[in-house]
Structure 1
Amino acid sequence: MTSNDAVVVVATIQAAEGSEDKVEQALRAAIPAVHAEPGCLRYALHRDLRSPGTFVMIEKWASAEALGVHGKGAALRELGAALDGLLSKPLSVQTLTALPEGDGDLGRL
């Protein structure tokens, strides 16, 4: 598998007012299980500096197939259950492919 097969995902999670801590805890709890999934190259949680209730998960998967397995896996099912009722809107998920330019290491995740 080459790095050209990799898929990058940016998932934006918006906590309902007053649920920020619970959402963060649920997201953090899922990370070790996802890191152990085959094909997981990156699964990194971030918080928006201007909107503390907005979390962004930046993911990198070895292939679309690995991402598909993740999407049907236990870790994501459990995370979905843990987030039930805690979000102000549905998750926003972008699935991306790199268009590297310039320095290959700097031009792609």
Structure 2
Amino acid sequence: MAEPCVVVATMVAKPGQEELVETTLRAAASAVHAEPGCLLYALHRKAGEPGRFVMIEKWASKEALRAHGQGAALRQVGAALGEALAGAPEVSVFEPLPAGDPELGAL
């Protein structure tokens, strides 16, 4: 059985581009939710920093994550935000280490 993986992707909008970044990421969510293996794709903004967005994701497998990375939704996001971000997104992939209560101790 494939192991799920968790992704934390951080994007920082250039000043004045915060609304475009948020709108683009919100619009992509439905398409990403429909991708095979998507278990969680949730947008957040860092409190006190209106231009710092964090996407927390959970994928059924590394293969599903790989397919997402090559999918149409992510290509569209990249095209729309190419000039709106202060730099490349920071993407970290994690392997779950469940602990304690099975429902509370893992994403």
**TM > 0.5 fold call:** yes
Gap runs ≥5 in structure 2:
none
Aligned-residue RMSD, C-alpha: 0.9
Candidates 7, 10, 17, aligned match of 1:9: 7
Moved over 4 A (4+): none
| Equivalent residue, structure 1, for 2:34 | 36
Give the share of equivalent positions with the same residue, in percent: 59
For normalisation by structure 1, the TM-score amounts to 0.95
**Partner AA of 1:26 in structure 2:** T
**Partner AA of 2:16 in structure 1:** G
**Partner AA of 1:101 in structure 2:** A
For residues 46 and 65 of structure 1, what CA distance do their matches in structure 2 show?
25
Gap runs ≥5 in structure 1:
none
* Partner secondary structure for residue 90 of structure 1: coil
- How many residues end up aligned between the 2 structures? 107
**Structure 1 residue 103, shift from structure 2 partner:** 1.1
For residues 31 and 45 of structure 1, what CA distance do their matches in structure 2 show?
8
For normalisation by structure 2, the TM-score amounts to 0.96
For residues 9 and 48 of structure 1, what CA distance do their matches in structure 2 show?
16
Candidates 51, 60, 63, aligned match of 1:62: 60
**Partner AA of 2:92 in structure 1:** Q
For residues 95 and 37 of structure 1, what CA distance do their matches in structure 2 show?
18
* Partner secondary structure for residue 27 of structure 1: helix
**Structure 1 residue 28, shift from structure 2 partner:** 0.7
